[in-house]
């Protein structure tokens, strides 16, 4: 049976590290602050936003929140972001996605000051990652790197296959694995012979959005398998994109769903808030 990569325990350790550093900054008169904006009442977004606020409370980060109605005009949202960009007592700004269809998500992400972009979604942050400059890292891929490192899984020189090419997970994940000296393949819905491609991986990261799609016949025996999925199975039970039951029998290591990648995303958000506060305290330099 595979080693189970315990995202709950690892995320807890990271939150405890952040908590200590937040306390130490507090001793220097700095209150680390995150502004959280939700537009509308998407039930999943409400759960995520509440979990983010809970993690702030745990780590000692002050959270300020705005819950705007579904019919909020884009200009109003942009005006709020502009105001928060200018507030010296706000270190990080997070706009929960997805936004209602009448709002242009790219315009909203562009409006967030890169110095406060704790989600790592701003084109400036993405560009910095791409060319190896310092900047905020998107939380889910950064969390996966932490999971691998803290589980003793070597990345350098290994075959890494990322299935999925989204802006939030697949693309930045590929760049981060490359930064860690992995040999990286990005596969996606149009990839030919996906089983063969996936089967080469020492580290297989799956973000397809399709419940239990990756079965044991996609996985090389002994591979480390990271499941980014958050789906529902035929019994409406939470599951991932990986068929845990069959894959855990042959993988070397595997993340469960829930309790794998999910909790890491929020822990890394807390880390980014801390980084934002530090950078701003050091004289307004960007991350």
What residues line the site for ligand GUN (CB under 6 A)?
94-97, 119, 139, 265
For residue 120, say whether it is annotated as part of any ligand binding site: no
Is 96 in the active site?
yes
Catalytic choice (6, 119, 241, 243): 119
Catalytic choice (15, 52, 171, 212): 52
Shortest gap between Cβ of 265 and ligand GUN (angstroms)?
6
Backbone angles phi, psi at 146, to 5 degrees: -60, -40
CA distances from 9 to 29, 52, 80 (A): 30, 17, 36
CA–CA separation, 226 vs 204, rounded Å?
A: 6
Q: Which DSSP category does 3 fall into?
A: E
Q: Three-state SS for 2?
A: coil
CA–CA separation, 162 vs 171, rounded Å?
A: 9
Is 202 in the active site?
no
Residue closer to ligand GUN (CB basis): 186 or 228: 228
Is 3 in the active site?
no
For residue 166, say whether it is annotated as part of any ligand binding site: yes
Q: Calculate the CA 146 to chain-centre distance.
A: 11
For residue 86, say whether it is annotated as part of any ligand binding site: no
- Nearest to ligand GUN by Cβ — which residue? 97
Catalytic choice (6, 38, 96, 117): 96
Residue closer to ligand GUN (CB basis): 82 or 221: 82
Q: Which of 119, 101, 99, 116 is nearest to 45 (CA)?
A: 99
Residue closer to ligand GUN (CB basis): 5 or 139: 139
CA–CA separation, 63 vs 54, rounded Å?
A: 9
Q: Three-state SS for 169?
A: coil
Residue closer to ligand GUN (CB basis): 84 or 94: 94
Shortest gap between Cβ of 230 and ligand GUN (angstroms)?
10
Q: Which residue positions form the known binding site for NADP(+)?
A: 164-166
Q: Which residue positions form the known binding site?
A: 164-166
**Catalytic residue annotation:** 52, 96, 119
């Amino acid at each position: 049976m595979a080693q189970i990569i315990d995202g709950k325990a690892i995320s807890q350790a990271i939150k405890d590290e952040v908590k200590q550093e937040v306390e130490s900054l507090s001793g220097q008169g700095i209150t680390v602050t995150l502004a959280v904006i939700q537009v509308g009442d998407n039930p999943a977004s409400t759960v995520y936003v509440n979990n983010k606020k809970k993690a702030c409370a745990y780590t000692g980060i002050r959270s300020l929140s705005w819950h705007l109605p579904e019919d909020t005009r884009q200009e109003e949202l942009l005006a709020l972001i502009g105001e928060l960009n200018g507030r010296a007592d706000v270190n990080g700004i997070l706009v929960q996605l997805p936004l209602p269809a009448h709002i242009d998500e790219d315009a909203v992400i562009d409006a967030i000051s890169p110095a406060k972009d704790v989600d790592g979604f701003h084109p400036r942050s993405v560009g910095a990652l791409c060319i190896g400059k310092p900047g905020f890292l998107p939380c889910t891929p950064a969390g996966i790197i932490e999971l691998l490192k803290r589980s003793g899984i070597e990345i350098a020189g290994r075959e890494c296959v990322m299935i999925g090419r989204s802006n939030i997970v697949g693309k930045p994940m590929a760049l981060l694995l490359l930064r860690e000296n992995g040999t990286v393949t990005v596969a996606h819905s149009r990839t030919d012979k996906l089983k063969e491609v996936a089967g080469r991986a020492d580290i297989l990261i799956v973000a397809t959005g399709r419940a239990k799609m990756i079965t044991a016949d996609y996985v090389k025996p002994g591979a480390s398998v990271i499941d980014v999925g958050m789906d529902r199975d035929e019994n409406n039970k939470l599951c991932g994109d990986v068929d845990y039951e069959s894959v855990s029998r042959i993988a070397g290591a595997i993340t469960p769903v829930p309790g794998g990648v999910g909790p890491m995303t929020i822990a890394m958000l807390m880390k980014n808030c801390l980084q934002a506060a530090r950078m701003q305290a050091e004289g307004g330099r960007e991350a």
